[in-house]
Amino acid sequence: MEQNFYIIRHGETDFNKSGMVQGSGIDSDLNEKGRMQAAAFYSHFSSFPFDKIYVSGLKRTHQSVASFIKKGIPLEIVPELNEISWGDFEGVAISPEMHDRYLNIISEWQKGNLHLAYKNAETPLQLQERQKIALKKILKDTASRNILIATHGRYLRAFLCLLLEQPLHQMDEFNHTNLCLYIIRYKEGKFTMIEACNTLHLEALNEN
């Protein structure tokens, strides 16, 4: 059976707005803009026949699809969809020194040094191992044809590498923004990209 995965990043939070790192350790709410993004996404897809919703354990993903949940679409919380842990980066104002360290970590990942992480953080290799657990749970749902998945920015990049069988060190090639949409088709054991970083549903917000 053919299945379609509609994968979104959560809407904006105040941490996103201020440029602060959230990660899996910060359970923040959507801000006003994030709620507007969620409403715009729902308005665009309110009549679409989603069969199941999967969210991370963090409430910003729940809030991003709240209107679909209220509509009665079955929901499952999958903690393995949580954002990568950024360790000591999480929830603090980023100093120039910390920003340099952050950029250095990203650079090392792009070189293939995926076993590295900032203090007390999760490595990309550790992240992708739990992504495999999340994917296994979702693929058990053979009855659902159209699946909506709400997750996080860094998670999304790594997850797309897993689905599309691309090297994990290339994850930064996948763009994302708050409440962007990727559509991935699953057929005969293979995932195919249908749409990448779609934000057409947010155009009305950008005009205001």
Q: Which helix (H) or strand (E) holds 149?
A: strand 146-151
Identify the pLDDT of residue 98: 83
Burial-class residue 198 by CB neighbours within 10 Å (0-12, 13-18, 19+): middle
CB neighbourhood size of 56 (10 A): 23
The parts of the chain modelled with pLDDT lower than 50 are none
What the block records as the tokens of 21 is 């790192």
Q: What is the DSSP string of 9-55?
A: E---BHHHHHT---GGG--PPB-HHHHHHHHHHHHHHTTS---EEEE
Structural domain including 153 reads: 3-207
* Structural domain count, the chain: 1
CB neighbourhood size of 146 (10 A): 16
Residue 102's CATH number: 3.40.50.1240
Identify the pLDDT of residue 207: 60
pTM above 0.85, yes or no: yes
